[in-house]
Amino acid sequence: MSGAAYSLLLLQDTISHQLRYNWMTYHTMAFILKLMKRSPVSRVYTLGLDFGTQSVKTIVLNVHTAEVVYTDSFEYDSFLPQYGTHRGVLPEKSLEIRHTSPFMIIEALDMAFARLQASGVEIEHIKVVKIDAMQHCTVYADSSFRERLSALDPEGDLLHQLQPCITRKTSPIWEDRSTIEEVDYLTNTLEKNGAIQFLTGNKAELRFPAAQILKWARQCPGEYSQTEHIFLLSAFLSSILAGNIAPVDTGDGWGTNLNNVDINNPGWSDIVISAADRYLRRLGLESPIRGRLGEIANYDTVLGFISPYFSKKYGICSEAIVLAGTGDNPATLLGCGGHTMVSLGSSYTVNGVMEDITPSSIGGYNVFGYIPGSAMALTVFTNGAKVHEYFMEQYAQRIRFTKEVEKDWEAYVSAAGEAILNDNEKLMLPYLLDESVPIRPRGIIRDGFEERDGNFNIRALHISQALSLRLHSLHLSHTDEICVVGGAAGNRFLRQLIADVFEARTYTIKHAGFAACLGCAISGAKVLLQIPYEEAANRYVQADKTSQMGSLRENKSAIRTLLHRYEELERSTTT
């Protein structure tokens, strides 16, 4: 019996267990079984869409062969130039204000499906659709939004049918830093209730919707009063896909500063909501925030069937299932294997599962919901690959670079020396820019060596960054296997150091640039096949076998010493 046929039989067996679920879930699962029978066994697809800051990415996954049959991406700046964005962000004089256009996002949703339809992919075999979006971004709509969703005309487009109900013409994104007054209010007001980070999982953040909503209500009370629905972007787009008001999932909803931290019974924090309402009343607004937020649901909640707009306009199966959308960070984690990932971009991030939900008392990491029953933690280090780029320029003449980028990077990494470490390695605090973890002002601090020695500096930078990643990830539950992504993932010395400091196996993956939307497609396959998340990740995340590295036994003792030394060096500095 083929694996695909066995999966179909397995799903038939599990249908009988769905009676404990609500009516919608039971009948949805019955339809899923029909859907899989209607398609050839080898062609059952799931669709994942990722709405990032700068671009939209799409992936189609063959559930039974684990083949990625389609990928696509397009940038807002190039394909929707009429909005005048730069890297997806609207122009603004203030550096603290960072917004995007909700109208551009709506147009981009139509564009993603039009491009998929034109690609030749057998779109009728797509059985599950899930979307992820940049976390913390919010969209605001009036009371007509629900009716407009149910009446979408496939002869028209989304923008012209939904534009009239959008009450806020721009949407704040995760880069916005303009809400200091509101963050101070939430922090100070909730201190007597045990601090906001212990109520919601995160300290009051400038970019989170709680502060963003209150600031907008203060500045534009009339528009706020006209607003019936406040969405996280992922829930807004999922509502359009499903043709009905969608809840936000824990993956995105826990990034609001308005949520509770009960992963098994997700909802809003009554204490925080009450504090927000008091702020609104001070502004003369008797308009409670709770009713505008909708509901919070578990990760991968089934919303129902796709809106007729998409089936009639683009030919997607009318009985395709829509799952609740999520934030880009949880989706990326699942698309990278589901346990721990390190992203080595301009900034570095460590993203992993947190079984024991413990908020950071100093805001060293963010806590978001994840797959049912567990949460994830995200740590962002400001000074990542950009410091290596600076050192490349700083020490170019001494290392005799050729001005051929690939060869120069090889020469740069070679300058860091051999992989075997000793107790007396040179260390530094590599803060080219103000650092977020730990919070420190800019300024590179060298421990006992000079700036002029290029090889010492390059080696110290590599080692110190790896030590910092480990030191600030002790809260994570599973770090024995780490997926490494991002532009610097090709740096084998840095990957080896990460393997050493975490005592882990590190690896890179195929389709790393599409990890978030792959995570969404994997969710769809998991729901179709009714298999555990770990099994789904193992089946569909394709590790590059040539990239795998394990920790070096020879470095084990030195790593313990270096971690202690680095921690002492970090403590010796002040904020």
pLDDT digits (tens, 9 = 90+) for 189-238: 999 888 999 999 999 999 999 999 999 999 999 999 999 999 999 999 99
pLDDT given at position 570: 95
Burial string for 40-77 (b: 16+ CB within 10 Å, else e) reads ebebbbbbbbbbbbbbbbbbbbbbbeeebebbbbbbbb
| 572/247 Cα distance (integer angstroms) | 46
The dihedral through the CA atoms of 299, 301, 307, 312 has a sign that is positive
Average pLDDT value over all residues in the chain: 91
pLDDT given at position 13: 39
Q: Residue 71: which H helix or E strand, with range?
A: strand 68-75
| 30/38 Cα distance (integer angstroms) | 13
Q: How confident is the model at residue 416 (pLDDT cuts 50, 70, 90)?
A: very high
In 355-508, DSSP assigns E strands to 366-369, 375-381, 428-431, 443-446, 481-485, 505-507
Q: Count of CB atoms within 10 A of residue 83's CB?
A: 17
pLDDT given at position 400: 64
More confident residue, 43 or 211: 211
pLDDT given at position 332: 96
| 84/98 Cα distance (integer angstroms) | 14
pLDDT given at position 283: 94
pLDDT given at position 8: 42
- What superfamily does domain 3-329 belong to in CATH? ATPase, nucleotide binding domain (3.30.420.40)
Among candidate residues 382, 430, 388, 383, the one with its CA nearest the CA of residue 405: 388
Q: Above 60 in pLDDT, residue 17?
A: no
Biggest CA–CA distance in the chain, Å, is 70
Q: Average of pLDDT values for 562-567? A: 98
Q: Average of pLDDT values for 235-260? A: 98
**Percentage of the chain surpassing pLDDT 70?**
91
| 366/105 Cα distance (integer angstroms) | 26
**Percentage of the chain surpassing pLDDT 90?**
85
Q: Count of CB atoms within 10 A of residue 354's CB?
A: 22
Amino acid at 382: T
Q: How confident is the model at residue 29 (pLDDT cuts 50, 70, 90)?
A: low
Long-range contacts of 452-457 (CB under 8 A, 24+ apart): 454/391, 454/394, 454/395, 454/398, 454/399, 454/415, 455/415, 455/416, 455/417, 456/426, 457/391, 457/394, 457/395, 457/426, 457/428
Q: How confident is the model at residue 478 (pLDDT cuts 50, 70, 90)?
A: confident
Q: How confident is the model at residue 12 (pLDDT cuts 50, 70, 90)?
A: very low
Q: Above 80 in pLDDT, residue 311?
A: yes
pLDDT given at position 19: 29
Structure tokens at 78: 């190039």
Span(s) in the chain for CATH 3.30.420.40? 3-329, 385-508+547-571
How many CA atoms within 13 Å lie on the side-chain side of 247? 20
Residue for token digits 């070679």?
414
| 47/519 Cα distance (integer angstroms) | 10
Q: Above 80 in pLDDT, residue 46?
A: yes
H-type alpha helices, 88-243: 102-118, 145-150, 158-162, 180-190, 196-200, 209-219, 221-225, 233-242
Express each pLDDT in 172-182 by its tens digit: 999 999 999 99
Q: Are 244 and 151 in contact (CB under 8 A)?
A: no
Q: Average of pLDDT values for 516-540? A: 97
More confident residue, 410 or 560: 560
- For 385-508+547-571, the fitting CATH number among 3.40.50.1370, 3.30.420.40, 3.40.50.2020, 3.40.50.970 is 3.30.420.40
In 239-390, DSSP assigns E strands to 248-249, 296-297, 302-305, 321-323, 326-327, 340-344, 348-354, 366-369, 375-381
| 82/159 Cα distance (integer angstroms) | 14
Q: Are 517 and 511 in contact (CB under 8 A)?
A: no
| 280/166 Cα distance (integer angstroms) | 21
DSSP state of 324: P
Q: Average of pLDDT values for 534-552? A: 95
Cα 527–246–363 angle (5° rounding)?
A: 85
Q: Average of pLDDT values for 70-99? A: 96
Q: How confident is the model at residue 66 (pLDDT cuts 50, 70, 90)?
A: very high
Burial string for 460-499 (b: 16+ CB within 10 Å, else e) reads bbbbbbbbbbbbbbebbeebebbbbbbebbbbebbbbbbb
Q: Above 90 in pLDDT, residue 5?
A: no
H-type alpha helices, 119-174: 145-150, 158-162
Parallel/antiparallel/unpaired status of strands 302-305 and 99-100? unpaired
Express each pLDDT in 325-369 by its tens digit: 999 999 999 999 999 999 999 899 999 999 889 999 888 999 999
| 3-state per-residue secondary structure call for 104-134 | HHHHHHHHHHHHHHHCCCCHHHEEEEEEEEC
